[in-house]
């Protein structure tokens, strides 16, 4: 599952501030090495987006606008199982202690930042120049552990906890 929260941004003259996009996906193998098979995906667009914003989000995340989303889509090349406009709730603590996403009745994901005996209080376990960043190169990954990961939508169905989770900021630019 991938979730994007747009703190502020736009596509041309269309403002996208505070909107969310959530993608479900599955595959076998390693997409970063191009050795994966059976890639599938589905998208939830934030219901708060108006028609122009939905069009802009579709162009960006569908790869039509180019940039990293187009490169990621070409690399992953999933068979799309569907797209829905729905309430997509995203909460990210300012200090990155926890993050969560929900599409009511379909998706629930919560995570807490990793910590350990040698991690200073309030510090986060982070990786710079991660070898695989779904938001593109050069972003800092904050590592976490999923405390909930439940999905039942578009033929995807799972319930698991304890797996890894990552939070990446992203900074994409597009048409002026």
Whether the pLDDT of residue 175 is over 60: the answer is: no
d(CA 103, CA 96): 21
Residue 38 CB neighbour total at 10 angstroms: 10
Tell me the three state secondary structure of residue 143: strand
Q: Tell me: pLDDT of 145 over 80.
A: yes
Structure tokens at 68: 């990293």
Confidence of residue 136 (pLDDT cuts 50, 70, 90): confident
d(CA 88, CA 60) in angstroms, rounded, equals 17
Sign of CA dihedral 139, 143, 148, 150: positive
Which of 13, 77, 104, 1 has its CA nearest to residue 43? Answer: 1
Angstrom distance (rounded) from CA 77 to CA 34: 10
- Could you identify the residue written with the tokens 């510090």? 123
Token pair in block for residue 119: 């991690």
What's the pLDDT tens digit per position in 71-92? Answer: 999 999 999 999 999 999 999 9
Percentage with pLDDT > 90 across the chain: 80
Query: Cβ(20)–Cβ(49) under 8 Å?
Result: no
| pTM for this entry | 0.92
**What is the rounded CA–CA span in Å between residue 161 and residue 139?**
25
The torsion of the CA quartet 54, 139, 40, 71, rounded to 10 degrees, works out to 80
pLDDT of residue 91: 98
**Is 134's pLDDT higher than 70?**
yes
Q: Which tens digit of pLDDT belongs to each residue from 56-65?
A: 999 999 999 9
Which of 3, 37, 35 shows the shortest CA–CA distance to 19?
Answer: 3
Mean pLDDT of the chain: 93
The residue among 76 and 54 whose pLDDT is bigger is 54
């Amino acid at each position: 599952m991938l979730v994007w929260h747009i703190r502020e941004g736009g596509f041309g003259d269309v403002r996208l501030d505070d909107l969310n996009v959530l993608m479900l996906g599955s595959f076998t193998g390693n997409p970063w090495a191009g050795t994966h098979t059976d890639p599938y995906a589905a998208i939830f667009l934030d219901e708060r987006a108006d028609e122009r914003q939905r069009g802009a989000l579709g162009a960006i995340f569908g790869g039509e606008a180019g940039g990293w989303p187009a490169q990621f889509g070409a690399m992953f090349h999933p068979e799309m199982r569907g797209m829905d406009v729905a309430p997509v709730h995203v909460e990210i603590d300012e200090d990155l202690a926890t993050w969560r996403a929900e599409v009511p009745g379909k998706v629930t994901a919560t995570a807490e930042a990793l910590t350990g005996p040698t991690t200073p209080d309030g510090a986060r376990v982070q990786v710079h120049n991660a070898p695989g960043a779904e938001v593109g190169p050069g972003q800092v990954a904050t590592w976490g552990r999923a405390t909930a990961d439940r999905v039942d939508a578009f033929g995807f169905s799972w319930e698991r906890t304890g797996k890894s989770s990552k939070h990446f900021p992203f900074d994409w630019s597009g048409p002026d």
